[in-house]
Structure 1
Amino acid sequence: MDPHLLRTYVTVARLASFSGAARQLGYTQSAVSQHIAALEQDLGSPLLTRRPVAPTPAGERLLEHAGPLLLRLDAARADVVRLASAPSHGLTLAVSPTSLGPAALAALPPAGVTLRVLGRDHVVAAVAEGAADLGLVDGLAAPSDPLRLPDVAPLTTRGVGEEPVSVLLPAAHPLARRSGLRLGDLVDARWLDAPDAGLPLPQLRAAAGGHGFRAALRYDGCDVRLLTALAAAGHGLTLLPRSAAAGVPGAVAVPVVEPRVVHRVEIVHAAAPPGGAARALLEALATRA
């Protein structure tokens, strides 16, 4: 399967437009049509309906494979380029919104840093593709357990911090006066679904036995302050690391006491040891961990 044809197919399916894909990829519309026809002939199955442009069942299945395959190819290219390139004097650090805690902030060099705030899965992809030298990603885990990160390339991860988690509730909420909360008691509560700004609801479900935690409102963004404002206004509960949940006006942060879970932060880098500013930050974070 030709990866160029596959990339064209993914772009057409994502944009639902042959002409839009041609503009984005820099091809003629005729060339895009030829790419799709060649891929369909190779696989022996129609992949797209034309009016409207939409994946067929076979096309949907191909899309499930295409993203990881193309990311793996981009990661391989970036890995080879890294080996042939001199270390950069600057540092590009990809971070998920709640991964850059006090210890990481203190370890940042005084100059030459570019921060890219991304969704958790996109942090890993940015490092794999060479768009970032290092990544900081976070999630909910049992104490000392590693995070379950997508397997997109030969990457190295290392834990650099753990802290308790708290449920953020409006100050007038009936549970706001509690000294601690069990996640199991909150499975039927109204929750904010903010997969990139807060701790994702699937992680809460997994920690509490695999059910409940229905969303009252979904927030597709990375602004933690907006997420906490939504919680304070009563639009739903959210789970955050203790440092991010503390001191929110109009809200109360109540610690989770059961099950024993923590907010874990890991640093991600390519399999080859980084150099320059990236190595210095890696060593500084390891020292503080």
Structure 2
Amino acid sequence: MDPHLLRTYVTVVRLASFSEAARDLGYTQSAVSQHIAALESDLGLPLLTRRPVAPTPAGERLLEHAGALLLRLDAARADLERFTAAPRTTLDVAASPLALTARTVAALPATGVTLHALPRERVPVAVATGEADAGLVDGIAAPSDPLRLPDVAPLSATAVAEEPLAVVLPDHHPLAGRPGLRLDDLVDARWLDAPAAGVPLDRLRAVHGGPAGRGFRPGLRYDGTDTRTLAVLAAAGRGLALLPLSAAQGVPGATAVSLVAPRLVHRTELLVPAGAHPEATGPVAEFAGRLKR
């Protein structure tokens, strides 16, 4: 299966248009049509309906494989290009919002740094494909357990920090006076749906282990990345939020109550390509060394 044809197919589906895909890829519309016809001929199946432009059932199944295949090819190209790349004097870091703490930011070199704030799932992709030299990704896990990261390419992950988790709720909330809270006590509460700024609700459902899709009902949806804004929304009674203890404290009108069960921590990891050696010289090594102090 020709990856160029596959990339054309994915673009046509994404834009639902042959002409738009041609503009996006820099091809003629005729070339795009030929790519799709060649891919359909290779697989012996129709992949697209033409009016409207939409994937057939077989095309839908191909899409389930296409993203991972193309990503892996991009990661392989980026990995091999590192063998001939000149030594870097600057540093590009991709980071999920909650991975940007006072400690991780202080570890960045003083100059020559570009910081990309990305959703959690995009950080490993950015490192694997060479968009970033290193990544900082966060998540919740059992103490000392590594994060479960998507298998996009061989990456080396190193623990940077672990800290307790706390539930953020208004001062006047009936549970605000508790010394600790169990996730079981909060299944039927109203939560803030903030996948970038807080712990995603689907992750809470997964670690709770209850019936699929049940519990932890969302109240207000917050699509921003500012953790303090999330805590302010919790203080205003718009829903509960689960945050690292350091991010949950010090917000007027809000109380941070430690999560005591299940035993979970907020974990931050440094990601670098598996072939990179943190002990070597250069900006990535300098950054990794500062994070270990």
Range of TM-score over shorter length: over 0.9
Q: Which residue of 1 aligns with 2:263?
A: 260
What SS class does the counterpart of residue 83 from structure 1 fall into? coil
Partner Cα separation in structure 1 for residue 220 and residue 60 of structure 2? 27
Q: Does 1:272 align with 2:275?
A: yes
In structure 2, relative to structure 1, the CA distance for the partners of 1:83 and 1:246 (3 Å cut) is same
What is the CA distance between 1:18 and its match in structure 2? 1.8
Calculate the TM-score normalised by the size of structure 2.
0.92
What SS class does the counterpart of residue 84 from structure 1 fall into? coil
Q: Which residue of 2 aligns with 1:15?
A: 15
Q: Which residue of 2 aligns with 1:59?
A: 59
Q: Which residue of 2 aligns with 1:227?
A: 230
Report if aligned partners of 1:118, 1:222 keep a CA contact under 8 Å in 2.
Answer: no
What SS class does the counterpart of residue 83 from structure 2 fall into? helix
Partner Cα separation in structure 1 for residue 251 and residue 17 of structure 2? 44
What SS class does the counterpart of residue 267 from structure 2 fall into? strand
What SS class does the counterpart of residue 146 from structure 2 fall into? coil
Give CA-to-partner distance per residue, 1:231-254, whole Å, 9 cap, x none.
233332221111111122332221
Calculate the TM-score normalised by the size of structure 1.
0.94
User: For residue 196 of structure 1, what is the amino acid of its counterpart?
Assistant: A
In structure 2, relative to structure 1, the CA distance for the partners of 1:241 and 1:132 (3 Å cut) is same
What SS class does the counterpart of residue 19 from structure 1 fall into? helix
What stretches of structure 1 of length at least 5 have no aligned partner? Answer: none
In structure 2, relative to structure 1, the CA distance for the partners of 1:249 and 1:149 (3 Å cut) is same
In structure 2, relative to structure 1, the CA distance for the partners of 1:180 and 1:65 (3 Å cut) is same
Runs of 4+ in 1 over 3 A off after TM superposition: 217-221
What is the CA distance between 1:227 and its match in structure 2? 2.6
Partner Cα separation in structure 2 for residue 278 and residue 6 of structure 1? 34
Q: Which moved more, 1:215-224 or 1:91-100?
A: 215-224
Give CA-to-partner distance per residue, 1:100-140, whole Å, 9 cap, x none.
22321221211111100000110000000001010000100
Partner Cα separation in structure 2 for residue 7 and residue 168 of structure 1? 44
Report if aligned partners of 1:99, 1:138 keep a CA contact under 8 Å in 2.
Answer: yes
User: For residue 291 of structure 2, what is the amino acid of its counterpart?
Assistant: L
Identity, in percent, stands at 68
Aligned residues: 287
Q: Which residue of 2 aligns with 1:139?
A: 139
In structure 2, relative to structure 1, the CA distance for the partners of 1:28 and 1:94 (3 Å cut) is same
What is the CA distance between 1:16 and its match in structure 2? 1.8
Partner Cα separation in structure 1 for residue 239 and residue 42 of structure 2? 49
| Aligned pairs (5 A) from 1:76-155 | 76-155=76-155
User: For residue 227 of structure 1, what is the amino acid of its counterpart?
Assistant: L
Q: CA RMSD in A?
A: 1.6
Partner Cα separation in structure 2 for residue 46 and residue 227 of structure 1? 47
